[in-house]
Structure 1
Amino acid sequence: MKHSFLFDLDAKYVVIFLFFAMLLAINIGYRVGVKKTKTDSDNSGILSSLLGLLALILAFTFGMAGSRFENRKASLIDEANCIGTVILRTDTYPDSLKNAFKKDLAVYLNSRIAYFESDRDEEKINAALRESGKTSESLWNRTSLCSKDKDLFLPSNMMIPALNSMFDSATTANMAYNSNVPEPIVYLLLFFSIIISFYIGYSSGFKKKIDRFYILGFCLLTSVVIYITLDLDRPRRGSINTENEMFLFNDLKSSL
C-alpha cells in the first residue's frame, strides 16, 4: 500500500490548510501591492492568464482522479462477473467436486471482499491477499488434476479459462485500487493555488480595493473542488467510494 506524507494525511486536513494558506497568501499579496504606486502598469491581464492556468491544472488533476475512480469501478464489476462465471461452471462437475469448488470459492470471495473493505489496515490487506493467493492455488491445482481425467476433461476445459480470467481480473482490480494521481501533480496544484492567491491579493492591493466576499468565495470553492479531487483519488476512505460495486460481491455469496 502506498505511503507518503500527502497521501497518508486526511484530505480534509489538506484542504483546511490550503484554505487558510490561500487567505494568508492573499493578505500578504495585498500588503505588498498596496505599497505600489500608480505608475506601475495594470497587470489584470496577467492575473486572468494565471487564473486560467490554475483552472487548467485543476481540470487536468480532477480528470485524472475521475478516470482512476471509473477504472476502479469497472475493474470491480469485471472481477465480480468473472467470479460469477466460475461459480456457474462448478455446476458442470459432479456434486462432490462441485461442493469442494464452492467451498474454496466462498473462502476466495470472502478474502477479496476483505481486501477491498480493509480500509488502510495494512495487516488486514496483506492477510486478505495471502488468503486469496492460497485459495487460488487450491482451485487451480484441483482443476489441473481434474483436467487429466477423461470423464472431467470437458468441464475442466471450460473451468480453466474462467479461472484464468478470475485471477487476471483480481490483479487488475488490485492495481486499479493502488493507482493514484502522481503526487508531484497534486503538489503543483496546491502550491499553484497559493501562488495565484498571492497575485490576487497583490492585484487588489495595487487597486487599493479588496472584495472580501469574492476572495472568500474563490478560496472556498477552490478548496472544495480540490477536496473532491483528493477524495476521488483515495478509494479506501472518504465519501466517494465503490460501495455500490461491492454489493455485487456480496450478492455472489447467495450462489455458494
Structure 2
Amino acid sequence: MVTFMAVTLGLVLLLIACLEAGRRLRMRHTADEASSGLGVIDGAIFGLLGLLLAFAFSGADSRYEARRQLIVTETNAIGTAWLRIDLLPAEAQPAIRQDMRSYVDARIAFYRDLNDNPARARQDAAATTALQTKIWGESTAAARQSPLASTLPLVAQSLNDMIDITTTRSVALNTHPPLAIYILLLVLAVAASLVAGYGMGDRRRRSWLHTLVYAAALTMTIYTILDLEFPRIGLVRIDRYDKVLVDQRGSMN
C-alpha cells in the first residue's frame, strides 16, 4: 500500500516536471518554429497513449473479475466436497471432516498472509498441498469400502475439482501483462506530457489548473490499472470477497 502511494506521488511529480520541461522548450522557439506541422505528431502520441490505457484498463478489469469469480468457484468446490463426505462410511467421516476444516483454514491463511508475511504464506501453501494428499487418500480409501459403486466417482470428482482450483487460482494470482507493457505506458505518458507542455508554452503564464488536472487524471488512471492488477495491495481490494470462503468454513463446524 505504501509502495503504491509512493509510486503514485512520484508519477504525479514526474508528469508535472515533463509538462514544465515541454513548456520551457516551447518558449525558446519562435511561434512559427513551434507550431509548424506538430499537430499530427501530437495527435499520434495522445492516440497511442489513449489506446494503450484503454487496453490496459480493460485487461486489468477482466483479470480482476476472473480472480473474484475463482474465489466463488473454489468455495463451491469445497462445499460440494464437504457434502459428499456424507456418502462415505460413517466411521471414516469424522477424521476426513477434521482434515477438511484444517484445509480450509490453510487456504484462508494463505491469502491472508500472502502480502503481509510471504514466508508464512509459503508454509500455508505447503500445508495445503499436504492436506490435499491426505484428504484424497483417506476419502478414496473410504469410498472403496462403500457398497455403492457410484460413491468413488462422486467423491473423487468433487475432490479433484477442489484441488484443481488451487492451481487455477495460483496461476491467476501471477498472471499480469509483461513488464514491457508498463514500461511502454510510462514512456508514452512522459512523451505525452512533454508535448502537452510544449503546446502550453505559447502562454507566458502557467496554467496550473490544466497542469494539475492533466497530471492527476493520467496518474489516477494508471494507478487504477495497477490497483486492479494487484488487488490485494492497494485501494481496490479483492480480499473482502474471501468472506464467502470464511462463511463456508463457518458452516463446517
Question: Common fold, TM-score beyond 0.5?
Answer: yes
2:218 maps to 222
Task: Report the aligned-residue RMSD.
Answer: 1.9
Q: How does 1:69-80 map to 2 (within 5 A)?
A: 69-80=64-75
Aligned residue pairs: how many?
Answer: 249
- Measured in 2, the distance between the counterparts of 1:185 and 1:239 equals 22
1:1-256 correspondence runs (5 A): 10-40=3-33, 41=36, 43-120=38-115, 121-151=117-147, 153-206=149-202, 210-256=206-252
Structure 2: gaps (5+ residues):
none
Q: Give the direction of change, closer, same or farther, for the CA distance of 1:204–1:219 in structure 2 (3 Å limit).
A: same
Between 102-111 and 208-217, report the one with greater CA deviation.
208-217
Q: Per-residue deviation at 1:208? A: 5.1
Residue 206 of structure 1 and its aligned partner are, at CA, apart by 4.5
Q: Which string of whole-angstrom CA distances, capped at 9 and with x for unpartnered residues, describes residues 84-131 of structure 1? A: 000111112233222111101001101111111113222111111111
Preserved contact between residue 33 and residue 203 of structure 1 (Cα < 8 Å): yes
Report the Cα offset of residue 64 of structure 1: 1.6
Deviates more, 1:156-165 or 1:208-217: 208-217
Q: Supply the distance in 2 between the matched residues of 1:171 and 1:21 (Cα, whole angstroms).
A: 39
Secondary structure of the equivalent of 1:117?
Answer: helix
Q: Measure the CA separation in 2 of the matches of 1:150 and 1:128.
A: 33
Which segment drifts farther, 164-173 or 49-58?
49-58
User: Which stretch of the first structure deviates more once superposed, 183-192 or 83-92?
Assistant: 183-192
Alpha-carbon distance between aligned partners in 1 of 2:48 and 2:224, rounded to the nearest angstrom: 19
Q: CA, structure 1 residues 207+44, in 2 after alignment: closer, same or farther (shift >3 Å)?
A: farther
Q: Which amino acid aligns with 2:49?
A: L
Deviation of 1:145 after TM superposition, in Å, equals 1.7
Offset of residue 25 of structure 1:
0.8
Runs of 5+ consecutive residues of structure 1 not aligned to the other structure: 1-7
> Identity across aligned pairs (percent)?
26
1:197 CA drift (Å)? 0.6
**TM-score normalised to structure 1 length:** 0.90
Superposed displacement of residue 222, structure 1: 0.7
SS at match of 1:202: helix
In structure 1, C-alpha distance between the alignment counterparts of 2:109 and 2:202, rounded to whole Å:
58
